[in-house]
């Protein structure tokens, strides 16, 4: 285990540590309930309960037909950084209502980014992860590339999550 330097010796806002995970495989789901995006997770053990954690994520999603994907960020099993409740709208961290012509065409690729400064109030290991769901089990969400890989114009894209501890 690495030695920890007292926060008082460094000053507030100093970077305590950085954890970064990059997954290069694809994830697909037709789930209408939130499902973990396999490998789109990272853990960090803050040096102090007053530390903040900057969560930076980027990923690409695609679909065989418009799935109206919903994405939520979780700390442990609790969703964080979601919108307020309003009417029948779903509370999400990132949502997308892309609707190609006739609602049936493939969505080739959309790149998404998200960042959030969290206050986990913990000096124990904290895990952040992403989940997604589709509105219709007949619609597949693909994370990590285009919906198909049948020619050289299609792509595979890394999915990244980085955690930066900021000492307070």
* Least reliable range by pLDDT among 47-56, 57-66, 104-113, 120-129: 104-113
Q: pTM of the predicted model, to two decimals?
A: 0.87
Rounded to whole angstroms, the maximal C-alpha distance in the chain is 61
Query: Given the structure tokens 């990132």, which residue do they identify?
Result: 94
pLDDT over 70 (residue 103): no
Neighbours of 67 (CB within 10 A): 26
Tens digit of each residue's pLDDT (9 = 90 or more) over 68-91:
889 999 999 999 999 998 888 888
Tokens matching residue 7: 């926060």
Q: Write out 77-126 in H/E/C secondary structure.
A: CEEECCCCCCCCCCCCCEECCCCCHHHCCCEEEEEEEEEEEECCCCCCCE
């Amino acid at each position: 285990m690495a030695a920890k330097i007292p926060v008082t010796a460094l000053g507030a806002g100093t970077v305590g540590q950085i954890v970064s995970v990059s997954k290069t495989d694809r994830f697909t789901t037709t789930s209408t309930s939130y499902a973990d995006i396999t490998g789109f997770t990272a853990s960090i053990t803050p040096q102090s309960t007053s530390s903040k954690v900057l969560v930076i994520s980027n990923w690409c999603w695609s679909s065989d037909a418009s799935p109206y994907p919903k994405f939520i960020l979780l700390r442990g099993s609790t969703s964080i950084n979601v919108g307020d409740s309003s009417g029948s709208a779903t509370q999400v961290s990132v949502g997308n209502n892309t609707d190609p012509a006739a609602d049936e065409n493939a969505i080739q690729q959309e790149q998404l980014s998200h960042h959030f400064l969290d206050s986990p109030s913990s000096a124990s290991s904290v895990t952040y992860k992403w989940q997604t769901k589709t509105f219709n089990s007949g619609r597949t969400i693909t994370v990590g590339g285009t919906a198909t890989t049948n020619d050289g114009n299609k792509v595979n894209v890394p999915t990244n999550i980085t955690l930066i501890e900021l000492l307070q």
